[in-house]
Amino acid sequence: MKRLGSTLGAVLLVGAVVAQTGWAPLSREVERPYALRLQAFRSQAHTAIRPYSSVTLKEATPADSLLPHAALSVLDKWAGQNNGRKFRWGPMADASVGFDAGNDQGIRHRAGAGFWTDMDAGSKLNFHFDVQGWNERLPNYLDTLSRATQVTPGEGYAYGDAPNFTHYDWNAHLSWDAHKYINVTLGRGKNFFGEGYRSLFLSDEAYSYPYLKISTTVWKVKYVNLFSMMNDIRGADGASADYARKFTSMHYLSYNVIDRINISIFEAVVWSNGEENYPRGFDFNYVNPVLFYRPAEFKIGSPDNALLGFGLNVKAGKHVLFYGQVMLDEFLAQAVRNGNGWYANKQAGQLGVNAYEAFGVKGLQLRAEWNLIRPFMYTHSGTVQNYAHMGQPLAHPYGSNVEEFLAHADLVRDRWVFSLRASTATMGTDSVFSYGNNIFRPEIDRPNKPGGGKLDFDYRLGDYKSQTVFYTELRAGWTVDPRSAMRIEASYTYRSLNPPGSDPTVTHFVRVGLVCRFREQHPEQVVRYVLR
């Protein structure tokens, strides 16, 4: 992997005499001024592939400058409009205080600071760097999660002694337009495949990771090759040198069939770095940009974790999008038809609708979404090769064996943003045996069947004993800096968890202060496992 990175770095430095287009941060709040036009009827943007390039955002800018003046400064940064500067930078800050009136009530805080820089070197090469660190006392349910998993959701390892945790994140990329149709990016950060609030393919729930991304756009097709290195943090006690390394290789093909229909194919493979005495490293069998991984696995006799997904997006009217995903880890059609709950039938599905200017109301966005993930999805017999990074799932934050419904509403009035988030989810729990809820447990941990061996059938959604979590959040904020999505914001969160055999756990959390959404925040979390 080091050799691959050094070689690519040399190639990119040679290319610096020409130079480039950059990428926007992976933040729906920063993307918000462009989202309506990106999703509009007749738009050819491949909106399921995020982050967006500066070129994509530039093409989404209204010719009549209908965007609010504040939003144009975002375009100044990412598409290089108006000011013509080659080097851009800006601050990021979080400074909020809250009160948790839940089971362990008390004052909570979040304090963080950082900055971003973005530089063009000619017309084909772009460099970006951002860093931010935080010290915070989390609401009780997130504090419990950080103690169980050793990380703060999406923002890194939780250092320090509870109840105060310190954590940080940094992202960087070197982006090169190698050809009219091809972009090569070497970076550290996150990627997202899908139109939903959740993604069953690849989401931004987990921490940042190093990656190499090759994006090819021709005609109505966009094809992404994404190679990355990720970590299993169990047993390392926060020492990064002791993390168990694993690699992923992913393909995402997006095709705009007609103006209203987009179809996509996703595939991924995860493999471990091997044992200390028998290191495997990066497997170049998975570098071929056009192969399907499952045939490659059979060819090389590999025990690696391969997944396959399909997506369909349909536009209705001017600004309404219906979307769906199907993700397969293991699939046997006969077993599915039998309906006998075979443990190895690992599938997940998503259906949703996202509407801008809903019911003709300017600035109103509505979303409704359903996600279903069967038991044992994203798990693997070799647990290092599960579909996770830094103690968090790479897809849905609840992992596996869950059914979720969510609804969102956002109303924008110039710099004011009003938001409602609501979701309810039912999921299983585990006993001393695994019923497919903990993606960090091997499949062999299944219950024993009478007469010996492991129980292979009768695994249902919500087993072993189901629990339900309900989450809702109301936010009202005034945007200070749209480039980093910093706002003066007040919010109220209500959350209830109904675990089996116990009294409900209820959270009332009120927060006010300066909030930065340069990175997506992930407050909808449930403790489903403890990492040792």
pLDDT in tens, 454-479: 999 999 999 889 999 999 999 999 99
pLDDT digits (tens, 9 = 90+) for 393-440: 999 999 999 999 999 999 999 999 999 999 999 999 998 999 999 999
- Show the beta-strand stretches assigned E in 318-431: 320-330, 346-356, 364-373, 388-389, 392-393, 402-413, 416-427
pTM over cut 0.85 = yes
Model pLDDT, residue 508: 96
Residue 525 lies in a domain: no
Domain range for 254 is: 2-516
Residue 434 lies in a domain: yes
Q: Are strands 156-157 and 106-121 parallel, antiparallel or unpaired?
A: unpaired
Model pLDDT, residue 57: 85
Whole-number Å distance between alpha carbons of 47 and 412 = 21
Report how many domains make up the chain: 1
Q: Which residues of 237-268 are buried (b: 16+ CB within 10 A; e: fewer)?
A: eeeeeebbbbbbbbbbbbebeeeeebebebbb
pLDDT digits (tens, 9 = 90+) for 114-143: 999 999 888 899 999 999 999 999 999 999
Contacts of 57 (CB under 8 A, 6+ apart): 24, 31, 34, 74, 75, 78, 79
Burial of 381 (0-12, 13-18, 19+ CB in 10 A): exposed
Tokens at 460, concatenated: 């249902």
Q: Whole-number mean pLDDT of the chain?
A: 87
Model pLDDT, residue 334: 75
* Residue-by-residue DSSP string for 95-154: EEEEEE-STT-EEEEEEEEEEEEEEEETTBEEEEEEEEEEEEE--HHHHHHHHHHSEETT
**3 state DSSP class of 337:** helix
**Is 66's pLDDT higher than 70?**
no
pLDDT digits (tens, 9 = 90+) for 265-315: 999 999 998 766 556 777 777 777 765 665 555 555 567 898 999 999 999
Residue 532 lies in a domain: no
Residue 524 lies in a domain: no
Residue 528 lies in a domain: no
Residue 344 lies in a domain: yes
Whole-number Å distance between alpha carbons of 46 and 38 = 8
**Is 72's pLDDT higher than 50?**
no
Residue 150 lies in a domain: yes
| Mean pLDDT of all residues in 437-444 | 94
Residue 522 lies in a domain: no
Better-scored residue on pLDDT, 89 or 371? 371
- In the chain, the amino acid numbered 273 is N
Among the ranges given (45-59, 74-88, 357-371), the one the predictor scored with the smallest mean pLDDT: 74-88
Model pLDDT, residue 452: 86
Tokens at 10, concatenated: 């040399």
Provide, rounded to the nearest whole percent, the portion of the chain with pLDDT above 90. Answer: 71
Among the ranges given (164-173, 231-240, 336-345, 397-406), the one the predictor scored with the smallest mean pLDDT: 336-345
Contacts of 174 (CB under 8 A, 6+ apart): 9, 12, 125, 126, 127, 185, 186, 187
Model pLDDT, residue 300: 54
**Is 369's pLDDT higher than 60?**
yes
Model pLDDT, residue 67: 45
pLDDT digits (tens, 9 = 90+) for 33-58: 899 999 999 999 999 999 999 888 88
* Residue-by-residue DSSP string for 413-424: ETTEEEEEEEEE
Model pLDDT, residue 74: 46
Residue 79 — pLDDT band, cuts 50, 70, 90? very low
Model pLDDT, residue 291: 59
**Is 70's pLDDT higher than 70?**
no
Whole-number Å distance between alpha carbons of 312 and 262 = 6
Whole-number Å distance between alpha carbons of 80 and 141 = 42
Model pLDDT, residue 362: 94
Residue 466 CB: number of other CB atoms within 10 A?
18
CB 393 within 8 A of CB 387: yes
Model pLDDT, residue 286: 77
Whole-number Å distance between alpha carbons of 427 and 373 = 9
Q: Which residues of 214-225 are buried (b: 16+ CB within 10 A; e: fewer)?
A: ebbbeeeebbbb
Whole-number Å distance between alpha carbons of 29 and 474 = 16
Model pLDDT, residue 17: 30
Model pLDDT, residue 277: 57
Tokens at 265, concatenated: 């194919």
Among the ranges given (4-8, 132-136, 375-379), the one the predictor scored with the smallest mean pLDDT: 4-8
Question: The CATH number of the domain where 420 resides is what?
Answer: 2.40.160.130
